[in-house]
Amino acid sequence: MGARPAWSWGAAPATRKLVVIAVLLGVAVAISLLIGRYPSPGIIAPDRLATDDLAQRIVFNLRLPRVLTALALGMSLSAAGAVFQQVFANPLVDPGFLGVSQGAAFGASLAIICWGSTVWLVQASAALFAFAGLGFSYLLARRAQFGGSVLRLVFAGIAVSALFSAGVGGLKYMADPMSQLPEITFWLLGGLASITWPQFWSIAPVVFVSLFIVYRMRWRLNLLSLDDSTAFSMGASPGRERALLLSAAVAATAAVVSVCGMVGWVGLIVPHIARRLFGADARYAVPAALLIGGLFGVLCDDVARTLLAGEIPIGILTSLIGALFFVVIFMTYGHVGEQR
């Protein structure tokens, strides 16, 4: 990546800002490993870690995979949000768009009802149906007879989401209220309480590859935010590049959602914050979204597991914080409403 050209924030400031956020993220990860409820609610002193076997095991076998998954969760949803917003030239869409989230919810609920709570089955089913949501939306959009390609996808996404949402409602109605329903509900609210190393490793490769693709293609995202005919006139293949970036975004989303459950608002709000701080150019907005998203994920999970004696579903926190941020951004952002 070249140095930040000198025309907007100057070469040093933008990169320096990214470094600052990266350092913050590193500090947040380190502190997250130390805070919790052992030996008493609060922080494990670092020197104790050297002597206390149990503390070591808690930090490295329980907290580390969980913190890394929270990091992957925030990064994936934010990167996916940035991709969706640029590709659809619409700052108000998020990775749940195109039936992806509702598809995952349906898949997970279906697995819980049909096969009980076998973790990997719930995961696989959620990921499968997340992609099915995208696939249905794409097929529906191709068959639609009106509007531009983006508008067709938007409508297809709304329809597919609604169908899966109805399906989730039906499954909840059929679920055993004593055993299955609470599990579905908890999954729909999201949480990282059950994350262990095997689960982290089950999603890490997909997340890494997907985020790498998004990161490397980030400047192309700017091109894709233009009209298709304009992007084409600049030598891009809008259809193919869009499909590749969307697939990467959905793969990362499906992976993290399959182990963490439904976590809303991160993908909508973090790209906005990144653009606020770094400008619209995806060369800087995407790495910023990755770092800020990671930070947001880690901090939200810290609150989820430490604030109360019991686990708070992380989806509740991200929705609460995200919605508040959204209101603030809307109140102070002059241009969103002016877009055609």
Partner 1 sequence: MTPLLTFDEVTFGYGSGTRPVLQRLSLDIESGTATAILGPNGVGKSTLLHLALGWLRAQSGRVLLDGRPLDAYPRRRLGQSMALVPQVERTPFDYTVLDYVLLARAPYLAPLAMPGADDERIAREVIDEVGLGQLSRRTITTLSGGERQNVLVARALAQQPRLLLMDEPTSHLDLAHKVRLVHLVRDRLARGMTVLLTTHEPDVAAAIATHLVLMRDGQVCGSGPLADVFTADNLSATYGVPVQIARIDGRQAVLWT
According to the binding rule CB under 8 A, does residue 268 interact with partner 1? no
DSSP string over 252-296: HHHHHHHHH----SHHHHHHHHHHHHH-S-HHHHHHHHHHHHHHH
How far is it, in rounded angstroms, from Cα 313 to Cα 321? 13
Interface size with partner 1, residues (CB under 8 A): 36
Smallest distance from partner 1 to CB 142, Å: 14
According to the binding rule CB under 8 A, does residue 179 interact with partner 1? no
Q: Which of 222, 311, 325, 329 binds partner 1 (CB under 8 A)?
A: 222
According to the binding rule CB under 8 A, does residue 149 interact with partner 1? no
According to the binding rule CB under 8 A, does residue 227 interact with partner 1? yes
Taken in order 259, 260, 262, 264, the sign of the CA dihedral is negative
Q: Which of 91, 267, 294, 322 binds partner 1 (CB under 8 A)?
A: 91
Q: Which of 52, 62, 196, 228 binds partner 1 (CB under 8 A)?
A: 228
Q: Tell which positions 49-88 bind partner 1, by CB under 8 A.
A: 86
According to the binding rule CB under 8 A, does residue 142 interact with partner 1? no
According to the binding rule CB under 8 A, does residue 118 interact with partner 1? no
According to the binding rule CB under 8 A, does residue 89 interact with partner 1? yes
- Asked if 177 and 112 touch (Cβ cutoff 8 Å), the reply is no
According to the binding rule CB under 8 A, does residue 340 interact with partner 1? yes
Q: Which of 61, 118, 179, 233 binds partner 1 (CB under 8 A)?
A: 233
How far is it, in rounded angstroms, from Cα 201 to Cα 205? 7
Helix, strand, coil fractions of the chain, as percent rounded to 5:
75, 0, 20
Name the 3-class secondary structure at 113: helix
Smallest distance from partner 1 to CB 62, Å: 39
Taken in order 247, 251, 252, 253, the sign of the CA dihedral is positive
Nearer to partner 1 (CB atom), residue 69 or residue 86 = 86
How far is it, in rounded angstroms, from Cα 240 to Cα 232? 11
According to the binding rule CB under 8 A, does residue 8 interact with partner 1? yes
How far is it, in rounded angstroms, from Cα 149 to Cα 137? 12
Nearer to partner 1 (CB atom), residue 146 or residue 173 = 146
Beta bridge partner(s), residue 42: 36
Smallest distance from partner 1 to CB 282, Å: 9
Reference 259, options 64, 69, 67; nearest CA is 69
Residues that bind partner 1 (CB under 8 A): 1-2, 5, 7-8, 86, 89-91, 216-217, 219-220, 222-223, 225-230, 232-237, 275, 279-281, 283, 335, 338-340
